[in-house]
Amino acid sequence: MRNPAALLAAPVQELFARAYEAERFADAKEVMAHVAENIHRDDFAVFIVRNDLGGLVGLTIVESDCSVFSELPWVLHIYSAGGRRVTHALAGAIRDWLMANGHTHVRVLNQTGRSDAEHMRIFAPFGSGTVLGGVIDYKLTPKG
């Protein structure tokens, strides 16, 4: 998806709502605003998958804007309501896009609550992966 006007289509808005309804870290409307602001960038991509009936069943957002803080591209979100076939189609699209843009690695943050091994099966089309560490979420409390 390259056209921010596509975000105005009801099926696309419904897909984003489904993709972020159980998400603990982002709101669908905020994500859509971020996508609208960044979709024109060459290092930002949104892929959407349709099922055989034309319904929207998969979504992924990828950013390859590397910096001193992150030397590799990141999969920001992946959502599939179409099973492994759709998930692997999304992962394949990510792989192909990144490789076409000269990348040989990508990072994925597992925020699903599932095991890393289970999460890694989603991205089997990428090739082999390595778990590098973990994410710790701290709730800050005032001193005293």
Quick one: pLDDT at residue 15? Answer: 95
pLDDT of 138 strictly over 80 = no
Given a cut of 90, whether residue 13 has pLDDT beyond it is: yes
Q: What is the pLDDT of residue 23?
A: 66
Q: Report pTM.
A: 0.87
Least confident of 98-102, 123-127, 132-136: 132-136
Query: Of how many residues is the chain composed?
Result: 144
Q: Could you read off the pLDDT of 62-116 as tens digits, one per residue?
A: 998 877 888 889 999 999 998 889 999 999 999 999 999 999 999 988 877 788 8
Let me know how many helices (H) and strands (E) the chain has, helices first. Answer: 4, 4
Q: Are 88 and 126 in contact (CB under 8 A)?
A: no
Classify residue 8 by its DSSP letter.
Answer: G
Distance (Å, rounded) from C-alpha 87 to C-alpha 80?
Answer: 6
Rounded CA-CA distance 62/43 in Å is: 8
Instruction: Tell me the HSE value of 34 on the side-chain side, using a 13 A CA sphere.
Output: 15
Q: What are phi and psi of 135, to 5 degrees?
A: -115, 130
According to the model, what pLDDT value does residue 36 have? 95
